[in-house]
Structure 1
Amino acid sequence: MSAPGDVPPEILDRLRPRCLGLPETYEEPAWVGTRWRVRKRTFAHVLTAGPNHPAARAAGTDGPVCVVTFRSPGDEIGALIGAGHPFYRPGWGADVLGMVLDGDTDWVEVAELLMESYCCVAPKKLVAQVDRPVGG
């Protein structure tokens, strides 16, 4: 039986290269699930939210549901929330968004969102090392 917050290995296998491929990042266990950080700032956190977990409620489900939270630039928050599922507001941090990870997940979009999240919290010196798309 898995512990609360455990993330399916196939999800971690998709997120790890995207997160750990960014400059000076590392992975560590969070209070629940797994998080990725640059220096001491979290830019991504993934967990499986069970029934009655605040993340499941915020995502509009009873759970269990696998979700990733990340930071987003202010000008993108409204558009992502306005798109509806799989995006939601977790209820903490003005620049923090959540995304349900399921069979319909667009992993290219996830990679872009994680890179943007990293760029929101990383020092400018490290952000300059990120290969960002034109206009990004």
Structure 2
Amino acid sequence: MPDVPLDVVERLRAICLALPEAYEENAWTGVRWCVRKRTFAHVLTIDETGPDAYARFIATEGEVTVVTFRAPGDELEAFVQAGPPYFVARWGRDVVGLELRDDTDWDELAELLTDSFCVLAPHKLVARVQLPGSPPGPA
């Protein structure tokens, strides 16, 4: 499998590690970010030899970098309707993928990854989350 571009990992790292008690580790391929041993974001680069579980959702040929994350149940249908560059994975009830492209909206992606963290994190950690674009809460 091709390596994930370092600039992509660094951008995702900045978003994910800003969340309380989030940590990073190497995944079976690519890099993932977890909270309490649960993966809330995973980035990998695939090509035509990559796993069918990803490749069948991606229309682009050649190398493609994909980030997967969790979505609250009420948002899944929106991702189904959105279509590319989004896809709803079939290996988890709430896993969504996004093909990272030159026109990816990184502010929106930060919100999606924060939501993903909130889906999996304990309530006491979610209460400490600063949502992207919202004013800071009381100290």
Unaligned segments of structure 1, at least 5 residues = none
Match of 1:24 in 2: 21
Match of 1:33 in 2: 30
**Greater CA deviation, 25-34 or 80-89?**
80-89
Unaligned segments of structure 2, at least 5 residues = none
Say whether 1:51 aligns with 2:48: yes
The one-letter amino acid paired with 1:19 is C
C-alpha distance in 2, partners of 1:63/1:125?
42
Deviation at 1:105, TM superposition (A): 0.4
Measured against aligned partners, the alpha-carbon deviations of 1:50-107 in whole angstroms (never above 9, x if no partner) come to 1142212212233310000000001111112211111012221010000000101000
Please tell me whether the aligned partners of residues 76 and 88 of structure 2 are also in contact (alpha carbons under 8 angstroms).
no
Match of 1:79 in 2: 78
Match of 1:97 in 2: 96
Q: TM-score, normalised by structure 2?
A: 0.89
SS in 1 for 2:56: helix
The alignment-based identity, stated in percent, is 55
Change (3 A) 1:72 1:8: same
C-alpha distance in 2, partners of 1:117/1:63?
28
**Greater CA deviation, 107-116 or 58-67?**
58-67
Q: TM-score, normalised by structure 1?
A: 0.91
Count, aligned residues? 131
